[in-house]
A and B are shown apart, each in its own frame.
Chain A
């Protein structure tokens, strides 16, 4: 069973709506990630938080706003999305740093977003 939990599993929203995706992990990991995945494509990195600070933003449009309230939680706030933003949004976590046994990346089940 995955130890990264994402809610909601499915979300349908209009282009003027504001919604949030939530992610929680209980593995003590200090790096958390948001990925976007389109059908038949690999996950595409959006944001990385390391020790609750945003360390990587892959030039994501401002209609996506990440937040890391604490070391276990990660949110993605959505506002004024476009239909092309419809995708599977994946949260992941890993231990920070290098060295044996710290390179594993664990994904949640994802939140499937449809923008009408």
Chain B
């Protein structure tokens, strides 16, 4: 079983839609959770970071962590064509060894 599972998509939504991206994990010791946005041929950009459980909001982005279900989510409100990218989840137990999902490819259609 992989440490982190993420649906690769691709996901295609109309502009203005709410996007939900998800990852599940198997290691209950994970306590650091991250979402990255990666444009084609660029490095991953840290979008959201959560320590332990709960929700975090930043503009149009909301990250949720449900440790009891071993499930994390990223919501994008009012999606824009510029949100078209691959979204990677990542998590860590210690803060210096990281496990990545395979990434979800998102296209927002104008």
**Contacting B45 at CB < 8 Å: which of A2, A56, A112?**
A2
Answer whether residue B28 sits at the interface, using C-beta atoms and an 8 A cutoff.
Answer: no
1/0 per residue A17-41: CB within 8 Å of B? 0000000000000010000000011
A55 to chain B, nearest CB (A): 8
**Contacting B46 at CB < 8 Å: which of A41, A97, A101, A105?**
A105
Stretch at the interface among B54-62, B74-82, B92-100: B92-100
Q: Which residue, of A31, A43, A48, has the highest number of chain B Cβ atoms within 10 A? A: A43
Does B100 contact A103, Cβ atoms closer than 8 Å?
no
| Size of the chain A interface, CB-CB below 8 angstroms | 32
Answer whether residue A69 sits at the interface, using C-beta atoms and an 8 A cutoff.
Answer: no
Q: Is the interface of A mostly helix, strand, loop or mixed?
A: loop
Does B96 contact A42, Cβ atoms closer than 8 Å?
no
> Known contacts A42-B101, A42-B103; is A48 also within 8 Å of B96 by CB?
yes
Q: Given the complex of chains A and B, what is the CA–CA distance between A6 and B46 in angstroms?
A: 16
Chain B residues, CB < 8 A from A107: 36, 43-46
Closest chain A residue to B93, Cβ basis = A98
Does A99 contact B44, Cβ atoms closer than 8 Å?
no
**Contacting B41 at CB < 8 Å: which of A42, A45, A101, A112?**
A112
Does B43 contact A105, Cβ atoms closer than 8 Å?
no
List chain A positions with a Cβ less than 8 A from chain B: 2, 4, 6, 31, 40-43, 45, 48, 50, 56, 88, 90, 94-110, 112
Identify the 9 closest CB pairs spanning chains A and B, nearest first.
A103-B32, A42-B100, A103-B95, A110-B43, A107-B43, A109-B43, A98-B95, A107-B44, A102-B95
